[in-house]
Amino acid sequence: MAEEVQKKRSPWVYVGLGCAGGLVLLCGLGVLIVGGLVKVGKDWADDMADPSRRESKARKQAVATLGAVPEGYSAAFSFGFPMVFEMLVFVDAPLLPDGGAPAFTRLLTYWRFMETERTREMKQFFENPDAGSFQNENLLIDTKAELGRGTFTHQNRKVSWIANRGTVRMQGQYDMEDGLVTTLYFECPGDQVHIATWQMKEPKDTDDLAGTVADPAQMQKLLSPLNPCGK
């Protein structure tokens, strides 16, 4: 299993998921789709109001999409629109009964969404260290320094990764302070993009990345029970 790791200076990296463009397209498809969006919004509101419902739904969706919940993690919540966009959030701590965010130290977020011109640019960023930054409206990875990048194989498919110091901005209760962020891009068949971000608080020994989210061995261990390309 070969790995390629390159060091690169990287001031700010913006990774966008292109879902805004997908939703604009959907809105043009007519009343049926609008009704579907309204239902998604209502389901989301109901999930936020009922922590047990939210956890149960997220756990079931994780099993349906990835085959399992990552070992040592809780399924915090899920959100999406069938065949267009899906987001799953996992934390390494038991969830609180009142629905608040627990005191977690690691956060894994998985996305699946329609491919657009923007996502093709994002793929180039993973493949080419000189491809520059990537910017979109939906997800912001605030990067202070790049720690490394490389590839490995999972379930006979290529996984590209970039590890940084920084944080992921999602404008929610699961936003973390600056720490370590690894973004993983999964080479999957079909016309959808599969990507994940894995975050943790920065360790005291910032020179030793073994055992952190920036350690390729830990990335492979995290993914071992999962199928990021879908069941």
Burial of residue 183 (CB within 10 Å: 0-12, 13-18, 19+) is buried
Average pLDDT over the chain, rounded to whole? 76
β-sheet bridge partners, residue 145 = 165
- Which DSSP string do the residues of 99-128 spell out, in sequence order? S-----SEEEEEEEEE--HHHHHHHHHHH-
Q: What pLDDT is attached to residue 128?
A: 64
For Cα atoms 147, 121, 199, give the angle at the middle one, nearest 5 degrees: 35
**What's the token pair of residue 103?**
């005191």
pLDDT score at 218: 97
For the chain, the maximum distance between any two Cα atoms, rounded to a whole number of angstroms, is 55
Domain ranges of the chain: 19-223
Predicted local confidence at residue 226, as pLDDT: 97
142-164 pLDDT, tens digit each: 778 888 999 999 999 999 999 98
pTM of the predicted model as reported, rounded to 2 decimal places? 0.77
The pair of three-digit structure tokens given for residue 92, joined into one six-digit string: 């390494």
The tokens 């995290």 sit on which residue?
222
pLDDT of residue 219: 97
Q: With 80 as the cut, is the pLDDT of residue 66 above it?
A: yes
- Tell me the C-alpha to C-alpha distance, in Å, between residue 158 and each of 2, 61, 100, 126, 153: 11, 24, 36, 12, 5
What does the pLDDT read at residue 14? 38
**Residue 60 pLDDT level (bands cut at 50, 70, 90):** very high
The band of 121, judged by pLDDT with boundaries at 50, 70 and 90, is low
Q: Of 107, 129, 119, whose CA–CA distance to 188 is shortest?
A: 119
Q: How far is CA 98 from CA 52, 57, 89, 198, in A?
A: 9, 16, 17, 25
